[in-house]
Structure 1
Amino acid sequence: MARYESPGAPVFTRSNALQARLHDLVPGGAHTYARSADQYPESMAPIIDHGSGARVWDADGNSFVEYGMGLRAVTLGHGYGPVVDAVCAEIARGTSFTRPSVLEAAAAEEFLTLVPGADMVKFAKNGSDATTAAVRLARAVTGREHVAVCEQPFFSVDDWFIGTTPMRAGIPNCTVERTVRFRFNNVASLEDALTTHPIACVLLEAATATQEPEPGFLEQVRRLCDRHGALLVFDEMITGFRWSEHGAQGLYGVRPDLSCWGKAMGNGFPIAALAGRREIMELGGLRTDADRVFLLSTTHGPESGSLAAFRAVVHAYATEGPITKMERAGRTLADAINAAATELGVDEFVEVVGRPSCLLFVTRDAQHRPSQEFRTLFLQELLMRGVLAQSFVVSAAHTDDDLAVTIEATRGAMRIYRQALDAGSVDGHLRGRPVAPALRARAEPRRLASGSLSSGRPSS
């Protein structure tokens, strides 16, 4: 197959050897499905060696301007000095103890000062733990089993949510049947769920990259939950510290009963949180006469490194205005790329959309249909030009130079995109098979041949 090559294009020899070995060692070749090689062009999935600011370097020494930033977990930049310094200083004093630490109290106080809708907090290590604890708590409070979940991409690795996706092997039907879906900005669909089933809680992101709540929507959700006796749970994994350090509840002025946090709380360090109203959270504590809820109890939830990272992040948000920086960078990037798309005649096919701090790009084929093939071509051509971008989610560390590199790279990628559109196909331009949805029922269309993944460990 013919292949367009740009001058000085990166090679992925060692990354490909490491990826092959990872497939032998780790199911799917990555510890997160969104990081898997099937989300990238074949033989062009960099294995990262290190990062600094908004740049990463792979095992072959290639340098990329990175977007997505650790699946939206890094807002201050890779290796951000004050966070690293705070973590190093704290872990030298010990990382995990048999009893709570002074640091736990300080971190909890700072968190609760930020979040207007929370009286108590419990820290954990990943967002799924927090959302599942919220569901368990809501079921205990209400005595109900059904959960109403908004039709948004992801809430948990646990059965109650994954059972609603195509990747539901191993999950009992009785679990799946207890989760019902409703549509964002569609009050009628939520009301139908609440009247059809005894709902314990309503769980949603108050906003997403491409969908802001319509005026009055969140207020109506709050009223419906109160009317039907269901708890309202906000998933603040992305909105928290990317929309606002006060979360969507602080930005839109609607208080949930419970909220779940993670990702950018620690600028990439593993920390998550369940927060909520005191009378609800106390059901997992010692000041209740009701049956106790096993809320969250994790060995590593209060380890000192991540709590120190969180406190350093809070300080950075108070003193450096990272959200303003992200919004500025995102607007600059979106305006420039969309203008270039118009200039190059691909604006009906390639478009940057979303909140400036959380940008996505849309790729369409010649018939204006969303296209995995053309998405893969765009990803491939960006990689060839030094940009690693499943999205255009920025950080406060993206500099004007980083944006300039990205804008020039997208111009080159869109020229190839235009050629493929004119030819009516990506054939002759695309290397290998297209990317595939991360959550799908079968390994196809990116299944790997068994027993032919690697011949041994890559050389050091």
Structure 2
Amino acid sequence: MGNNYLRTVDNFSNSTKYKEEIHKLIPGGAHTYSKGDDQFPLLSPAAISRGKGAYVWDIDGNMYLDCSMGLTSVSLGHAFEPVLNAVKEELENGVNFQRPSVLEKVTAEKFLSLIPYHDMIKFAKNGSIVTTAAVKLARAFTNRKLVAFPGDHPFYSYDDWFIGTTTCNKGIPNEFSELSVTFKSCDIESLKQLFLKYPGQIACVITEPEKSPCGNGCNCKQNPEMFLKEAIDLTHEHGALFIIDEMVSGFKSAFPGSISKYNLKPDMATWGKGIANGFSFCALTGTKEIMELGGITKVGEEKVFLISTTHGGETHALAAVNATIDIFKKENVVNHNQKIGDALIYGCQQVITTTGSSNLVDITACNWLVIFNFKGVDGNANAGMRTLAMQEMIKRGILFQGAFSPCFSHSIEDVNYFVEAFSEMLQVLKLALVNGVENLLVGESAKPVFRKYL
């Protein structure tokens, strides 16, 4: 390997024009804030024209090894043929009808067969819909108002119950924000104190089952299973419901997720990214006792208006999730993806050790979602250094935003390429420590999504 091994990307002329026009049409320039221009260095693609396998191409024709894989939603690969074939076949039958498609029953049965202890399912098109639906059911079931979640989690929903607790709370009345309470993630004592502070008031606890930092000095002492089982028991002791958010961990930490990995018994679970290989399909699963509150069969009881989405049962998305499940079963996708993650972690750690770069970057050694923390002179996380790292990886043909989400299309050759580019990038970061980031970074640093002012 060497300089000739790596590609060089330096043409962003069409991306520059795109940036000049898109903000006149779309608030934020994208439909997810984490895809916005302020999340990337100036020298980066503004829009993607197509993807195939583990690669994407931008509107200037530049090819990149993809690390984020559609914000971790693409678990098999872009335009993965078996999924596409199932979708194409279903498209011939139409995608939306006045009554439910027969495929809704097929998909419900197939998905629920994966989830232990859960009896019913509700479909939606994005994660915020199902997390908010879970919170609504918990409030209806317990007749309580408060929802509890880890205050250090970056995102649960775009709805008021979560966004109202962030710095981006403009437009949300304080009355809504006051109905949400927080605890330290993976910290059972913190959760105990919360129940003592609000006796008989908490309707539910919602949390990720495990995060990538759970293997790197997390409050759970690298034992999320123990925390989760204690937290579920504690929550039930206080008359509240426990909701596991598998939006990120589902189909990654295990198949179908941490709920089966640790044999957990939450009251509800939410699912999304990765389960339909990038197609828009999310789900809420739960026990019959709770989920039936959103039904119409218990005549005479008060109705809970749970989820009602015109596009929630679109047949092509159902075909995508069914095909994805079949492939995960047949090919042991989770094992492949985690081996890719292990190889990436090993290769990058070797580079850090041999180049003496531990002062520049830490790696969260989670093989289903590898996180890189870039540090400044003071040893703390540094936005400028992170943005410079992104700039240099993009320059070498890797679309990188500080994380690597392995997919079934990633190969060991892709890992080797990443490690080689990573090694060169670290040399640039070393120069930045001496000469200043501002002398090597073109444009401004990437900004936090959750910030009070633009």
**What residue in structure 1 maps to residue 321 of structure 2?**
310
Report the residue type matching 1:63 in the other structure: M
Secondary structure of residue in 2 paired with 1:184: coil
Contact 1:377 1:429 in 2 (8 A): yes
Report the residue type matching 1:353 in the other structure: T
For residues 29-428 of structure 1, the aligned pairs below 5 Å read 29-151=29-151, 152-197=153-198, 198-211=201-214, 213=220, 214=223, 216-288=226-298, 289-390=300-401, 391-423=403-435, 425-428=436-439
Q: CA deviation at 1:210?
A: 1.2
Task: Rate the CA distance shift 1:321–1:7 in 2: closer, same or farther, 3 A.
Answer: closer
Q: CA deviation at 1:7?
A: 8.2
Q: CA deviation at 1:258?
A: 0.6
Contact 1:114 1:246 in 2 (8 A): yes
Matched residues in 2 for 1:154 and 1:8: separation? 34
Report the residue type matching 2:432 in the other structure: A
Q: CA deviation at 1:369?
A: 1.1
Q: CA deviation at 1:45?
A: 3.5
Report the residue type matching 1:20 in the other structure: E
Q: CA deviation at 1:8?
A: 3.9
Unaligned runs of 5+ in 2: 1-5
1:18-64 CA distance string (max 9 Å, x none): 12211111111111001011111124244111000110000001000
Secondary structure of residue in 2 paired with 1:154: coil
Q: CA deviation at 1:334?
A: 1.1
Contact 1:123 1:274 in 2 (8 A): yes
Report the residue type matching 1:141 in the other structure: F
Unaligned runs of 5+ in 1: 1-5, 444-460
Report the residue type matching 2:19 in the other structure: Q
Report the residue type matching 2:451 in the other structure: R
Matched residues in 2 for 1:241 and 1:430: separation? 36
Q: What percentage of aligned pairs have identical amino acids?
A: 39
Task: Rate the CA distance shift 1:404–1:7 in 2: closer, same or farther, 3 A.
Answer: closer
Task: Rate the CA distance shift 1:141–1:208 in 2: closer, same or farther, 3 A.
Answer: same
Matched residues in 2 for 1:300 and 1:13: separation? 37
1:197-222 CA distance string (max 9 Å, x none): 20000000010111155352111111
Matched residues in 1 for 2:52 and 2:229: separation? 41
Report the residue type matching 1:216 in the other structure: M
Contact 2:7 2:397 in 1 (8 A): no
Matched residues in 1 for 2:293 and 2:7: separation? 62
Secondary structure of residue in 1 paired with 2:231: helix
Contact 2:120 2:285 in 1 (8 A): yes
Scaled by the length of structure 2, what TM-score is found? 0.94
Contact 2:168 2:450 in 1 (8 A): yes
Task: Rate the CA distance shift 1:304–1:7 in 2: closer, same or farther, 3 A.
Answer: closer
**What residue in structure 2 maps to residue 456 of structure 1?**
none
**What residue in structure 1 maps to residue 3 of structure 2?**
none
Secondary structure of residue in 2 paired with 1:64: strand
Matched residues in 2 for 1:62 and 1:46: separation? 11
Secondary structure of residue in 2 paired with 1:440: coil
1:351-384 CA distance string (max 9 Å, x none): 2213111111010012211100000110000011
Moved more, 210-219 or 391-400: 210-219
Deviation above 4 Å: which 4+ runs of structure 1?
A: none
Matched residues in 2 for 1:40 and 1:305: separation? 32
Matched residues in 2 for 1:290 and 1:209: separation? 42
Provide the aligned C-alpha RMSD in A: 1.3
Q: CA deviation at 1:286?
A: 2.0
Contact 1:16 1:43 in 2 (8 A): no
Contact 1:357 1:395 in 2 (8 A): no
Q: CA deviation at 1:74?
A: 0.4
Matched residues in 2 for 1:397 and 1:7: separation? 20
